[in-house]
Amino acid sequence: MRIYYLSTNGKAAPWLAALREALPGAEVMEWQAGAPPGDHAVVWAPPQQFFDEQPQLRGIFNTGAGVDALLGRQLPPKAVLVRLEDAGMSVQMAEYVCHAVVRHFREFDRIEEDVAQRRWAYRRPNERDDFPVGVMGLGVLGTRVAQALAHFEFPVLGWSRSPREVPGVRCFSGGAGFDDFLRATRMLVCLLPLTPATENIMNRDTLGKLRPGGYVINVARGAHLVDEDLLALLDEGHLAGATLDVFRTEPLPPQHPFWQHPRISVTPHTSARTLRHETVAQIARKIQALERGESIAGVVDRLRGY
């Protein structure tokens, strides 16, 4: 069995070593143009040329949860496309989102400003009931995030394509439930996959339905958010702020207004990093299962887009 590893991160050596250790019977190598046919590929954002040269591939394993970049390629028709399921990302995402929510709710930015001025200032505590958090996407990551927020006793709402039940979370689904979900939400978290149905989903119309003083946390993909609409709603005072980890163009261009905006916090696509050990272990288990003819979880429905 031959397995190719390809990534844009420029750090192939430790990944190749980890894959060889986890799959001792396999020939694991970095792909080069003109290389012989492989059986499986472990990839992040590979060039189209790779798929054009490897039409016989049986498995394509993405080293991330979101497969939007891969679905933009022409993939070998028979290969299963497999995404990462958690692999250490859900706890990171829960940390990141809880941090952003608590930072805003407890007004830690204002406290920092006071402290910088050596001002010993008390503020009236905010009421949790005035800060309901709505999580769009109740999959592997969204569910973990929603449950973590519920532990802090925020009112938590969730929205998914099909109906879900998550303890401690008021769940809505589909187009029919979207308006009610938005109108009941003050702090909106995006954990949707990027698909034709979810692109630009955070826009003037939808963000305008959030409760006054709304707050946006985007940890999914930059193209979920219409940048100009966020800026306009911040300027108009309908939204109070945003924490953004993902952007339409990454790295975020130096001239982009998000960098300097006083009510936007920017992080460099770092809310949930791919962890090599967990990722290789999960992918190796799935390759072995496929080789035994077993079915595996995490296979992407190419029509649905996630």
Sign of the Cα pseudo-torsion (217, 221, 222, 223, in order): negative
Amino acid at 146: A
Q: Distance between CA 164 and CA 255 in Å, rounded?
A: 41
Is 192 a binding residue for ligand NAP by CB under 6 A? The answer is yes
Which one of the spans 29-37, 114-122, 158-166, 283-291 is the region binding ligand NAP (CB under 6 A)? 158-166
Closer CB to ligand GLV, 44 or 178, in the complex:
44
- Catalytic annotation, pick one of 269, 276, 277, 285: 269
Longest Cα separation, the chain: 68
Closer CB to ligand NAP, 175 or 254, in the complex:
175
Residues that bind ligand GLV (CB under 6 A): 64-66, 84
Cβ–Cβ under 8 Å, residues 279 and 84: yes
User: Which CB contacts under 8 angstroms, 24+ apart, belong to 236-239?
Assistant: 238/207, 238/208, 238/210, 238/212, 238/214, 239/207, 239/210, 239/213, 239/214, 239/215, 239/263
Q: Of the candidates 2, 164, 204, 276, which one interacts with ligand NAP according to CB under 6 A?
A: 164
CB of 193 to ligand GLV, least distance (A): 9
**94 — alpha (psi -120 to 50), left (phi > 0) or beta?**
alpha
CB of 271 to ligand GLV, least distance (A): 8
Closer CB to ligand NAP, 89 or 239, in the complex:
89
Closer CB to ligand NAP, 32 or 162, in the complex:
162
- Catalytic annotation, pick one of 161, 186, 221, 224: 221
Give the rounded distance of the alpha carbon of 287 from its chain centre: 24
Active site residue 221: yes
Active site residue 224: no
Site for ligand NAP in 237-296 (CB under 6 A): 245-246, 269, 271-272
Closer CB to ligand NAP, 76 or 193, in the complex:
193
Q: Of the candidates 42, 60, 65, 226, which one interacts with ligand NAP according to CB under 6 A?
A: 65
Site for ligand NAP in 200-239 (CB under 6 A): 219-221
Distances (CA, A) of 243 to 102, 181, 188, 217: 12, 20, 10, 5
Q: Of the candidates 76, 132, 193, 214, which one interacts with ligand NAP according to CB under 6 A?
A: 193
Is 298 a binding residue for ligand NAP by CB under 6 A? The answer is no
With CB cut-offs between 5 and 8 Å by kind, which of ligand NAP, ligand GLV, none does residue 162 bind?
A: ligand NAP
Q: Of the candidates 137, 214, 222, 241, which one interacts with ligand NAP according to CB under 6 A?
A: 137
Task: Give catalytic residue positions.
Answer: 221, 269
Residues in contact with ligand NAP by CB under 6 A are 65-66, 89, 137-142, 159-162, 164, 191-195, 197-198, 219-221, 245-246, 269, 271-272, 306
